């Protein structure tokens, strides 16, 4: 038999539960054992509040609850009970007017005559009783017949049989015994050990105060709108097993109601009952998640640059517990050359001013792989609007020779920061030999960022059958993609990229990326 832990909302272990065991087709169902004491709370009409508050997550619009429960059991309260005391022969009879669970009798000036001499013996504890005397509490049945229920000192036993009468404790002028539910009891001082041998003996007592155990009455659990979620009319018996109250649906409803108002997810429940009542309370774990759903389809065109997911403007600093959605990728037939893929600087960088004369960037044939150029990207900025003439040239001894294809003119808008400026040359077969990229300004000037030695570029190639390349989300690999379309329903995205700012997609491949039914979940 295996055990699993039961944890409260603070994730502290408060109990253990057995797992089901099967003997053939017979199942032994699970049994829960609480290993920490419950909280004992006092009841009132106003009630004991159970407040639930979840940390909000920016963008989350709904809450789902997976576990939320309270477990309640009666906590007995001992109170004096009104009783009419009368003498019947040598006995004292206490009548309560209604059935109560009597547990104690407190005596004032309980005494017996001293035998063989004048004076009295005051009885305050068991040791004060003469050797052949005992105090007996009896309860009456419907016919008025009395049956002994408890005795002090303990009743003797016959061989292996249990004692015929329950044991009471007598100390400090108080007789305590297990609860007897009745509307009247009889107190006797008797001689004899077994009930059939009892002989009543005279005693005197100034007063007798009876105490009874009372369970809570009219218990109920209500939500913030005072709607009853669970109730127990009348007295909640202590003999009943603890009542488990499932709050998953009302908690989820309350959390979503507050979120719909633009407030932090919160809920409140109250445990109510009759004044002076008490219950034992075990609070279960209130767990679930906040969900940030992204409706519809989000499409991102990857074309040689990192691209943020446009469906997120801001995200909480907290990374979600899960990010799940459908992912589809379609290749556009173009990819970046891995060897001609320079970064765009975000800070100051050195470079070359492109004016009327050609500035040439060698393009090693090994990086072109014999494939035609699809896009040419220049990295830099224009202080003013300018036009650039871009052409491919055959290189001879490191010097530009003949032009390959035709010259392409591109316009660059002014910008204070560095960016990637694309142009699309006419498709031409480059052939073998060393190739260069010659750039000159038709008008204005262009600051062309310089890498280690050469001006920075990104070169995209036509490639119908590319090798598999990683598709990255903030540097974490999502999939390896190639020419074949990929469709991954219910894809589990890495969660770290969804913290703080919109995550960035990146790949050497030019791709159309579709995300649908995406949902971020934050465990609570």
pLDDT of 68-95, one tens digit each? 999 999 999 999 999 999 999 999 999 9
Percent with pLDDT over 90 in the chain: 79
Whether 174 shows a pLDDT value over 80: the answer reads: yes
Q: Distance between CA atoms of 404 and 391, rounded to whole angstroms? A: 7
**Residue corresponding to tokens 């009885």:** 123
Where do the structural domains in the chain lie, given as residue ranges?
A: 1-36, 39-71+219-232+239-285, 79-214, 291-334+466-523, 343-455
According to the model, what pLDDT value does residue 18 have? 63
**What burial letters (b/e) apply to 135-162, b meaning 16+ CB within 10 Å?**
bbbbbbeeeeebebbbbbbbbeeeeeee
Contacts of 362 (CB under 8 A, 6+ apart): 395, 398, 434, 435, 436, 437, 454
According to the model, what pLDDT value does residue 48 have? 95
Q: Distance between CA atoms of 110 and 132, rounded to whole angstroms? A: 17
Q: Residue 11: which pLDDT band, with cuts at 50, 70 and 90? A: low
How large is the average pLDDT for residues 132-161? 91
Which CATH class for the 291-334+466-523 domain? Answer: mainly beta
Whether 432 shows a pLDDT value over 80: the answer reads: no
CA atoms within 13 A on the CB side of 248: 9
What are the tokens at 28?
Answer: 């032994």
What are the tokens at 191?
Answer: 């001689």
For residue 398, the SS3 value is coil
According to the model, what pLDDT value does residue 224 have? 94
pLDDT in tens, 318-342: 999 999 999 999 999 999 999 999 9
Which CATH class for the 343-455 domain? Answer: mainly beta
CA atoms within 13 A on the CB side of 34: 16
What strands lie across the sheet with 13-18, from one edge to the other? 3-7, 13-18, 32-34
According to the model, what pLDDT value does residue 399 have? 85
Q: Distance between CA atoms of 342 and 62, rounded to whole angstroms? A: 43
Whether 9 shows a pLDDT value over 60: the answer reads: no
How large is the average pLDDT for residues 208-212? 97
Lowest mean pLDDT segment, chosen from 241-245, 408-412, 428-432, 453-457:
428-432
Which fold does the domain 79-214 belong to in CATH?
Answer: Jelly Rolls (2.60.120)
- Whether the bond into 153 is cis, omega within 30 of 0: yes
How large is the average pLDDT for residues 389-398? 90
Q: Which of 221, 216, 223 is nearest to 244 (CA)?
A: 221
According to the model, what pLDDT value does residue 423 have? 95
Q: Residue 143: which pLDDT band, with cuts at 50, 70 and 90? A: confident
Q: pTM for this structure? A: 0.77
pLDDT in tens, 486-501: 999 999 999 999 999 8
Q: What is the DSSP letter of 426?
A: P
Whether 509 shows a pLDDT value over 70: the answer reads: yes
Q: Residue 14: which pLDDT band, with cuts at 50, 70 and 90? A: low
Helix (H) or strand (E) holding 5: strand 3-7
**What burial letters (b/e) apply to 239-249, b meaning 16+ CB within 10 Å?**
eeebbebebbe
Whether 34 shows a pLDDT value over 60: the answer reads: no
How large is the average pLDDT for residues 380-390? 96
Whether 4 shows a pLDDT value over 80: the answer reads: no
Q: Residue 521: which pLDDT band, with cuts at 50, 70 and 90? A: very high
Alpha-helical (H) ranges within 91-158 are: none
What are the tokens at 195?
Answer: 């009930």
According to the model, what pLDDT value does residue 434 have? 83
According to the model, what pLDDT value does residue 400 have? 86
pLDDT in tens, 275-313: 889 999 999 889 999 999 999 999 999 999 999 999 888
What are the tokens at 489?
Answer: 């329903």
According to the model, what pLDDT value does residue 58 have? 92
CATH topology of 79-214 equal to that of 343-455? yes
Whether 355 shows a pLDDT value over 70: the answer reads: yes
**Residue corresponding to tokens 């808008």:** 413
pLDDT in tens, 231-283: 999 999 988 999 999 999 999 999 999 999 999 999 999 999 998 899 999 99
Backbone angles phi, psi at 260, to 5 degrees: -65, -25
Q: Return the ∠ at Cα 116 (arms to 113 and 122), rounded to 5°.
A: 25
Q: Distance between CA atoms of 248 and 260, rounded to whole angstroms? A: 18
Q: Which of 392, 495, 372, 385 is nearest to 435 (CA)?
A: 392
Whether 8 shows a pLDDT value over 80: the answer reads: no
The 3-class SS string of 430-480 reads: CCCCCEEEEEEEEECCEEEEECCCCECEEEEEECCCCCCEEEEECCEEEEE
Report the chain's mean pLDDT, rounded to a whole number.
91
According to the model, what pLDDT value does residue 10 have? 56
């Amino acid at each position: 038999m295996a055990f699993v832990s039961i944890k409260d909302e603070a994730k502290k272990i408060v109990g253990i539960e057995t797992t089901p065991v099967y003997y053939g087709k017979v199942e032994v169902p699970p049994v829960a054992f609480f290993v920490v004491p419950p909280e004992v709370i006092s009841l009132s009409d106003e009630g004991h509040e159970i407040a639930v508050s979840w940390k909000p997550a920016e963008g989350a619009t709904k809450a789902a609850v997976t576990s939320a429960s309270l477990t309640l059991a009666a906590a007995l309260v001992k109170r004096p009970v009104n009783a009419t005391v009368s003498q019947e022969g040598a006995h004292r009879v206490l009548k309560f007017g209604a059935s109560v669970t009597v547990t104690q009798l407190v005596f004032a000036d309980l005494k017996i005559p001293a035998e063989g001499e004048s004076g009295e013996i005051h009885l305050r504890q068991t040791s004060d009783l003469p050797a052949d005397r005992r105090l007996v509490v009896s309860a009456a049945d419907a016919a008025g017949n009395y049956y002994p229920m408890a005795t002090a000192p303990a009743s003797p036993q016959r061989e292996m049989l249990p004692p015929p009468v329950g044991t009471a404790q007598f100390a400090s002028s108080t007789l305590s015994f297990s609860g007897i539910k009745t509307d009247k009891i009889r107190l006797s001082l008797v001689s004899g050990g077994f009930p059939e041998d009892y002989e009543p003996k005279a005693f005197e007592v100034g007063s007798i105060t009876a105490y009874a155990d009372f369970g809570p009455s009219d218990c109920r659990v209500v939500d913030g709108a005072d709607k009853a979620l669970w109730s127990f009319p009348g007295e909640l018996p202590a003999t009943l097993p603890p009542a488990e109250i499932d709050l998953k649906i009302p908690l989820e409803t309350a959390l979503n109601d507050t979120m719909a108002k633009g407030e932090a997810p919160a809920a409140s429940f109250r445990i109510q009952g009759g004044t002076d009542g008490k219950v034992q309370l075990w609070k279960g774990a209130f767990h679930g998640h906040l969900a940030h759903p992204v409706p519809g389809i989000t499409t991102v065109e990857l074309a040689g640059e990192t691209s943020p997911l446009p469906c997120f403007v801001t995200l909480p600093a907290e990374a979600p517990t899960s990010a799940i959605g459908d992912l589809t990728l379609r290749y556009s037939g173009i990819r970046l050359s891995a060897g001609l893929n320079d970064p765009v600087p975000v800070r100051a960088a050195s470079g070359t001013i492109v004016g009327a004369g050609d500035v040439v960037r060698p393009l090693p044939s090994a990086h072109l792989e014999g494939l035609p150029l699809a896009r040419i990207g220049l990295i830099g900025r224009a202080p003013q609007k300018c036009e650039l003439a871009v052409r491919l040239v055959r290189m001879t001894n490191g010097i530009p020779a003949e032009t390959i294809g035709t010259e392409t003119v591109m316009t660059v808008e002014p910008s204070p920061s560095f960016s990637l400026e694309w142009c699309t040359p006419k498709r031409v077969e480059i052939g073998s030999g060393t190739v260069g990229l010659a750039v000159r300004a038709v008008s204005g000037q262009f600051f062309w960022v310089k890498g280690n030695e050469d001006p920075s570029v990104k070169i995209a190639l036509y490639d119908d059958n590319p090798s598999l390349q990683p598709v990255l989300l903030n540097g974490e690999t999502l999939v390896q993609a190639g020419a074949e379309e990929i469709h991954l329903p219910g894809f589990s995205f890495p969660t770290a990229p969804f913290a703080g700012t919109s995550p960035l997609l990146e790949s050497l491949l030019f791709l159309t990326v579709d995300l649908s039914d995406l949902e971020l979940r934050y465990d609570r």
